[in-house]
Structure 1
Amino acid sequence: MTKQWVAPRPGGSAVFELVDVTVPAPGPGEVTVRVRAAGMNPADAKRTRSGAPADFPVPIGYELAGVVSAVGPGTTIASGPVAVGDPVLAFRVRGAWTEEITLPAQDVFAKPATLGDAEAANLLLAGTTAADLIRVTGVRAGETVLVHGASGAVGVSLLQQLRSLGARVVGTASAASADAVRRFGGEWVAYGDGLEARVRDLAASGVDVAMDCVGSDEAVDVSLALVADRSRVATIAAFERAADAGIRTIGGAQPESRAFRDSVRQRLVDLAGRGDLVVPVARTFPLAEARAALDVLESGHPGGKLALLP
């Protein structure tokens, strides 16, 4: 038996419970991983806020880092051969907030030695989302990109990935997060009244692309005012506004996005291994203290990624 956090019924993080579960032995195409760190994302609770009772219980957590404890017959992982004792990371996981788990090997990657467990466990959900935003908006070297919510997890990954493309990035954030935006290659601008004018002052030659990671009306309105081509405005949060405004939306459940995100996982792991994609971690918590960690996560200002350590 192992400990795992689950949502036994709809209700979001308020209903999460730590329960005992059985870990099945891995079959062909599967590995079992002893978890060293589980990543935390707003989506962990979002997906359990509603749904049919028959769809529950739902195991919590999408990504993790750990050590392989068993390998199914004839199995290799996404990055190649694997053996018991190998350090790995994984994403798309169903139930990462646990001590041990059996996973499809296609979602498991060798963890670079340069990458800590908490960082590795928080790399791919935000990283693949950022890469998907870049894909759908077609960013090219030399273009100017406005990123709303540049100090959040997806925003920080965007800053770094856009910098590697040779794009100029203007990132919105609070004054308290200005240094974080600058650290990862962006030009900081404060959100709030007068945002459009401040961006115009910074980017006198115009804004080519806008990416919204917050979902506020301000983010959508300013993006529409600054970017002439609405196909080059994309959001991961303002879905209702997007439909009316004719801008792009992306989500991991969309077949095209899902396939693309799966295809770029190894590239992002390689970037992180070289130090070209940094995952700032604010705090770690014991697995049993997930509720306290959720309070920090859902405050909206954790100051970096959070991880649960079994």
Structure 2
Amino acid sequence: MVTYIARRIGAGLAILFVIAALGFVMLSINTDAVVRGILGPQASEEQAAALKADLGLDQSLPVQFIQWLGGVFRGDLGRSWFTNQDVNELIGLRLPISLSIVIVVLLVTLVVAVLLGLGSAYFGGWFDRATQILCILGFAIPGFLLALILVTVFGVYLGWAPVVGFTPITDSLPGWMRSVTLPTIALASHSVGAVAQQVRNAAFGVLNMDYVRTLRSRGIPEWRLVLVNVLRNSTVSGITVLGLQAVGLLGAVVLVDKIFAIPGIGEMTINYTVRGDRPAIMGLILVLTVLVIVINLLVDVFVSVLNPKVRTR
């Protein structure tokens, strides 16, 4: 297990370096336009040259990248070119907001998808058909469209939930729950369908295996048979898909943040990408890539615990 985890961490670090290098190069292609955007169109060439020297843009690209890497190893992601705010603080203020929503979405997805998948495989009939319809609808309706519908119906017309804004959980638990309800529904619709479908298909196969029939003939209670034996052997594919959905959610929060006016990393990503603010964008790339690597590592470890055969791959 230790060797398996070490291999996964090594691969993750290599991917992180490659993505960081590619992102740095792409964000350095048109720094002259960014400098003009900071100073304004009336700035002179001397002012532009002075600002480039102040930002370190007068040095070669490899030197700039090495200096940025040095700051990363010291825990310093630099300062925003436009606002002069510390990038660590910018991300530290916004990341917990987005992560709280993503975590709630994953928990809702896990519980609802497992219940729907197991129920569909065990009961069949109308329950299975209803589950299939829900899964198809979850796939068919885009998250941003569902978010707009939810805002219009439950926020504007019914007034059951706030249309925009975010209440930190430290300020008010009920207020936080109200502010994350609609975003959670919008984001979970697709992931519930994907995970439930995987659990359903796997559970169908497990329920038809000989050892399940043997356990049932020995008088094992049905609830224990389903919740222990069937669940354990049918959630591997579901957990794998859930990991992929978690990665996708990090991108989906960009649209959701914009629709619900939530001050998370989604809003920050849009604002600073439009400006071409390299320190802020590189900080986001670094943090989000680390999150993706950690999520994939956790999924791999969990799957390897359930199925030790994957450790040899």
TM-score normalized with structure 1 length: 0.23
| Bigger Cα Rg | 2
Higher relative contact order (CA 8 A, sep 6+): 2
TM-score normalized with structure 2 length: 0.23
